[in-house]
Amino acid sequence: IYSGVENLELSGWFYDVDTISSIAYADGVYSKELENLSYEIGLQFANFGELDVSLVDGSVYGAMASLSFNNLTLSGAYNSSSNDDGKFAINGFGGGPYFTSMDEMTIDGINDAKAYMIGLGYNLSSIMPHDVAIDLAYGVFEDGDNLQETKEMDIVLSGNLTNELSMEVIYANIEDDKDSLNDDLNFDRVVARVNYSF
C-alpha cells in the first residue's frame, strides 16, 4: 500500500494459489473532501494465470466513483472481465475486491462478465438521535454468452445506537431474467445483526 501522494492511495497484492491460479491485483483510489462536498474515484485491475486446468484465467478491469453532499451519497461502479471460453475470474480471498460486488452477487465464476452497480445512501443523523444510515444499491451481472443476466437490489439499514451497541439489517433481492427457475439466482434474503461491545 502506498499513500505518499496527497489524497491518493495505491495498493496491490499477489497470490500464487496452488493448483488454481497466480493472481496479481492493483488499484488506485483518489478522494477529496471540500466544505460540504466530497468525492472518490477509483480504478482496479486483476490478472489471473491458470494453473492445473482450473479454468481460473483472464483479466478484470474496474472503475468506480462516488459523490457525497452533506448526508447524501451517490455512487456507481463498473467491472468487466476478459476470459477465454469456459474460463473465469474468482474473488480470491476475503470476499473479493471488485467495485461492483454486492451483498450476494459478484463477477466470480462468470465468463466474460459485465457488471454495473449504482447506489444511493443517506445518513439519517440529521433527523434521528443516532448515527444511522440507509443505503440502496442496484446491480446487473451479465455473462459474455448472454446466458445470465442477474439483477440484485440491496437495502441496508445500519448504525450505532449507542457507543456499545450497533446494528445492521440487510435485505437482498436477486433475480435472473435468463433463468427464472434457478433457485441459486432467484431468491430473497434478510440478515439482521446486532453487535454489543464491552
Q: For residue range 121-180, list pLDDT tens digits in order.
A: 999 987 877 889 999 999 999 999 999 999 999 999 999 988 899 999 999 999 998 888
Contact present, 191 and 162 (Cβ < 8 Å): no
Strands 187-196 and 165-176: antiparallel
pLDDT (average), residues 39-54? 97
106-126 as b/e, with b when 16 or more CB fall inside 10 Å? bbbebbbbbbbbebebbbeee
Grid-cell match 499513500, residue found: 3
Query: From CA 92, how far away is CA 9, in angstroms rounded?
Result: 21
pLDDT (average), residues 7-27? 95
Q: How confident is the model at residue 25 (pLDDT cuts 50, 70, 90)?
A: very high
- Considering 5-19, 87-101, 117-131, the range whose residues carry the highest mean pLDDT is 5-19
C-alpha cell at 70: 452533506
* C-alpha torsion sign, points 138, 40, 58, 106: negative
Query: From CA 119, how far away is CA 44, in angstroms rounded?
Result: 19
Q: How confident is the model at residue 59 (pLDDT cuts 50, 70, 90)?
A: very high
